[in-house]
Amino acid sequence: MKKFILNPLGTACLGLILTCLLFAPFGDSAEAENMPRVKEYRIERSMSKEAMACIQCHKKEHPGLFADWANSRHASANITCLDCHQAEEHDADVSQEHFKQYERGDNPWGSKEYRVPVAAAVTPKDCSRCHPDEAVQYSKSKHANTLEIIWKIDPWLNKGMNSDLERQAGCLYCHGTILKTKDGKLDHSTWPNVGVGRINMDGSKGSCTSCHTRHRFSVMEARKPESCGQCHLGPDHPQIEIFTESKHGDIYAAFGDDYNWNASPGTWTPGVDFRGPTCASCHMSGAGTVMTSHDVTERLSWELQAPLTVRPQDFKPLPAQSNWETERNKMKEVCMQCHGKAWVNDHYTKMDGVVQEYNEVYFKPAKAKLDELYEKGLLDKSRFFDERLEVEYYELWHHEGRRARMGTAMMAPDYAWWHGFYECKKRFNNFMEEANHLIETGQKAYVAKDYPNDTGSTKKPEEIFGGEK
């Protein structure tokens, strides 16, 4: 294990200036958008006394935190606590509580001499000082904008059908909170949170530590499927379970220990550094002429999580800014690092067929029947989930329908069939049986009068929507 040795005097051990110029190609092609732009890196092997105070204090107070940082690439490049956490005194997210650390008498580093304003939450805007391309790509992704997406389409939020605490502990832990302060420190109702769509007080969206957990910020960790599996699991989006069932997951389980997880960013290569892909290697990492990107919306040719499967540029809550065929060709090139052209094309032919059958056979008839029930007043449209048919309809697309489509896309036959279309058939038949009975008899559906914890706010966040209702 490497040991990080600090100079207790805080003097410069080595002066180094590294300037690296990377030129992006000219042109207006979609590929050119993600090519590296001109960058300049300046790394000086020195450390201010304030930065030294941070490190020495946290080394004593939070040894696990210090150990993570000391073994990170940041530490090797002399990136200290202050490079990420330092803020302006007037910034809204400055920790007033932290200023008390400089009034302690039991710590030689806790004196006013070292007083610096810091913010606990490090944001993509902070990270962009060294990682500008990654921050721009991330800001355009569905990850960064997921709070806006769910507030546009999610009945749990729009109908107030779960409590604020249920949201904080569940939904918003992955999707992200809207950070706020209270009494000089981060409000406990919004913090701690590293959700991918977190709204930060500096106006940026998301949290890089969703995937690169602090304070190691490991590229290895973000490349492994378990990192994605923190959020992408369960009955409604079981990508980690689907991956585990697939041949890709089997190869990862068998050979993953031999992968070169620590290859430098942008150099991780199929067939050289790893045998079988992970989530990151398909959706984010570079391969062939396809550039690495932190925009997970890229390379997608269908919105498989939507109720009705549409092309990404037709997904109204967040239309993609590129053409689906361009993005499909990127993913095909990634696939063809290991597979033949016929294999890849035939896979997509099958996936397109599954999408069409799901849309036409299952979703559209169910949606039409639901609309008929609302139109005839047999279901109450003012709320959602308090009538059984609303739950049946929701789970048809949100659970089984997603599993069928995603299982096909990621080549997991058990999820495509037994957890997917097989369950779709049962759900669809039960839904239609009860719906037709209500229509034939004119009987209104039973409404749950004692629906639990339907106390969540239905007001759209002003931080996202302004004054829009």
User: Cα–chain-centroid distance for residue 25?
Assistant: 29
Average pLDDT in the chain: 90
89 lies in some domain: no
Residue 423 CA to residue 419 CA, distance in Å, equals 6
- Asked whether residue 12 carries a pLDDT value surpassing 70, the answer given is no
86 lies in some domain: no
Residue 87 vs residues 118, 125, 201, 208: alpha-carbon distances, Å: 5, 12, 12, 18
43-47, 75-79, 245-249, 462-466: which range is least confident on average? 43-47
Q: Do residue 289 and residue 430 come from a single domain? A: yes
CA angle 255, 408, 148 (to 5 degrees): 100
* pLDDT tens readout for residues 339-357: 999 999 999 999 999 999 9
130 vs 32, more confident: 130
- Residue 223 banded pLDDT, cuts 50, 70, 90: very high
Q: Do residue 276 and residue 209 come from a single domain? A: no
**Nearest CA among 161, 151, 167 for reference residue 390:** 161
CB-based contact 204:260 (threshold 8 Å) = no
Q: Do residue 296 and residue 416 come from a single domain? A: yes
Residue 108 CA to residue 183 CA, distance in Å, equals 27
HSE-up of residue 326 (Cα within 13 Å, Cβ side):
13
- Asked whether residue 25 carries a pLDDT value surpassing 60, the answer given is no
**Nearest CA among 383, 449, 3, 414 for reference residue 161:** 383
277 lies in some domain: yes
Q: Do residue 272 and residue 392 come from a single domain? A: yes
User: Cα–chain-centroid distance for residue 245?
Assistant: 22
Q: Do residue 363 and residue 301 come from a single domain? A: yes
20 vs 435, more confident: 435
What is the model's pLDDT at position 9?
36
229 lies in some domain: no
Helix (H, G, I), strand (E, B) or coil at 297: coil
- Residue 469 banded pLDDT, cuts 50, 70, 90: low
Percent of the chain with pLDDT over 70: 90
Given 217, 238, 270, the domain boundary residue is 217
CB-based contact 40:19 (threshold 8 Å) = yes
Q: Do residue 271 and residue 404 come from a single domain? A: yes
24 lies in some domain: no
- Asked whether residue 10 carries a pLDDT value surpassing 90, the answer given is no
- Residue 1 banded pLDDT, cuts 50, 70, 90: very low
The predicted model scores a pTM of: 0.87
Spatial CB neighbours of 272, under 8 Å, sequence gap ≥ 6? 260
Given 195, 217, 239, the domain boundary residue is 217
17 lies in some domain: no
- Residue 44 banded pLDDT, cuts 50, 70, 90: low
What is the model's pLDDT at position 14?
33
CB-based contact 278:302 (threshold 8 Å) = no
* pLDDT tens readout for residues 146-204: 999 999 999 999 999 999 999 999 999 999 999 999 988 899 999 999 999 999 999 99
Dihedral of CA atoms 198, 153, 379, 435 in degrees, nearest 10, equals -120
What is the number of helices (H) and of strands (E) in the chain?
A: 23, 2
Domains in the chain, number: 2
Q: Which of 37-46, 163-172, 460-469 has the highest mean pLDDT?
A: 163-172
- Asked whether residue 239 carries a pLDDT value surpassing 80, the answer given is yes
- Residue 45 banded pLDDT, cuts 50, 70, 90: low
131 lies in some domain: yes
282 lies in some domain: yes
Residue 74 vs residues 38, 77, 80, 372: alpha-carbon distances, Å: 21, 5, 7, 59
List the CATH number of the domain containing 356.
1.20.850.10
What is the model's pLDDT at position 28?
45
Q: Do residue 181 and residue 326 come from a single domain? A: no
| 385: DSSP letter | S
Q: Do residue 281 and residue 150 come from a single domain? A: no
CB-based contact 225:240 (threshold 8 Å) = yes
Q: Do residue 274 and residue 149 come from a single domain? A: no
Q: In which domain, by residue range, is 148 found? A: 121-217
Q: Do residue 207 and residue 258 come from a single domain? A: no
- Residue 104 banded pLDDT, cuts 50, 70, 90: confident
- Residue 277 banded pLDDT, cuts 50, 70, 90: very high
Q: Do residue 185 and residue 301 come from a single domain? A: no
Q: Do residue 330 and residue 399 come from a single domain? A: yes
- Asked whether residue 305 carries a pLDDT value surpassing 90, the answer given is yes
